[in-house]
């Protein structure tokens, strides 16, 4: 099996942040995307950014920018599909997705996802953390995705599927458990950005 490649999901509209690209907001002297890239790059063979609109605004990153092929802001699954199509062009078997607004995700994300999916014909796993009320909280923008299922995902999106777990549950996705929910803290609002500064 070839090493996984990574897709950074930045295709949302950031309405709670006032619009624009959340990933280009600054945290501790660099952008949110800079923090995400620093954490993901040692864990994958290559990576791309999923973002819609003019890719030139990300030119300074020096990485491929792939847009959703599903129109109308179809959510993170559309970004995952864009990453799977990009990965297929490179001959990769699997993609690891991360969110562009989550600067503290675990540095062992990829090996834990692989361990959770061990033995599956089509390795598929989502990050999760303990939740006192529900038992677990899944973090569906952080996952391991098999390129072999990209046409299945494309068909599901065409049929209107938008919730990540609706599709992943159909394929027996496993949970990769992480002990610290704070590691998946994501920046949605200006208040969240201030809290992230404190966490940093």
Q: What distance in Å separates the CA atoms of residue 153 and residue 89, rounded to the nearest whole number?
A: 17
Kindly give the residue spans of alpha helices, DSSP state H, lying in the chain: 32-40, 76-89, 109-116, 150-158, 164-170, 190-199
Give the confidence band of 14 by pLDDT, cuts at 50, 70, 90: low
When mean pLDDT is compared over 57-71, 82-96, 127-141, the highest value belongs to 82-96
* Residue 156 confidence (pLDDT): 97
**For residue 13, is pLDDT > 70?**
no
Residue tagged 């280009």 (tokens): 24
Give the confidence band of 48 by pLDDT, cuts at 50, 70, 90: very high
* Residue 135 confidence (pLDDT): 87
Number of domains in the chain: 1
* Residue 11 confidence (pLDDT): 76
**For residue 16, is pLDDT > 60?**
no
Range of the domain at 23: 5-199
DSSP-derived 3-state class of residue 40: helix
**For 120-154, b where at least 16 C-beta lie within 10 A, e where not — what string?**
eebbbbbbbbeeeeeeeebbbbbbbbbbebbeebb
* CATH number of domain containing 100: 3.90.550.10
* Residue 1 confidence (pLDDT): 60
């Amino acid at each position: 099996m070839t090493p996984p490649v990574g897709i950074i999901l930045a295709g949302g509209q950031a309405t709670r942040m006032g619009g624009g690209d959340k990933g280009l907001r600054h945290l501790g002297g660099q952008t949110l995307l800079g923090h995400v890239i620093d954490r993901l790059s040692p864990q994958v063979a290559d990576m791309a950014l999923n973002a819609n609109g003019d890719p030139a605004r990300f030119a300074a990153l020096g990485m491929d920018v792939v847009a959703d092929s599903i129109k109308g802001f179809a959510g993170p699954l559309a970004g995952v599909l864009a990453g799977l199509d990009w990965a297929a062009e490179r001959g990769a078997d699997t993609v690891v997705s991360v969110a562009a607004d989550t600067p503290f995700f675990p540095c062992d994300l990829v090996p834990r996802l692989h361990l959770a999916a061990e033995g599956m014909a089509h390795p598929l796993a989502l990050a999760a953390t303990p939740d006192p009320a529900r038992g677990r909280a899944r973090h569906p923008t952080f996952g391991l995705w098999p390129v072999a299922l990209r046409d299945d995902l494309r068909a599901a999106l065409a049929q209107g599927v938008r919730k990540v777990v609706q599709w992943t549950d159909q394929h027996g996705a496993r949970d990769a458990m992480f002990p610290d929910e704070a590691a998946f803290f994501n920046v949605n609002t200006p208040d969240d950005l201030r809290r992230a500064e404190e966490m940093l």
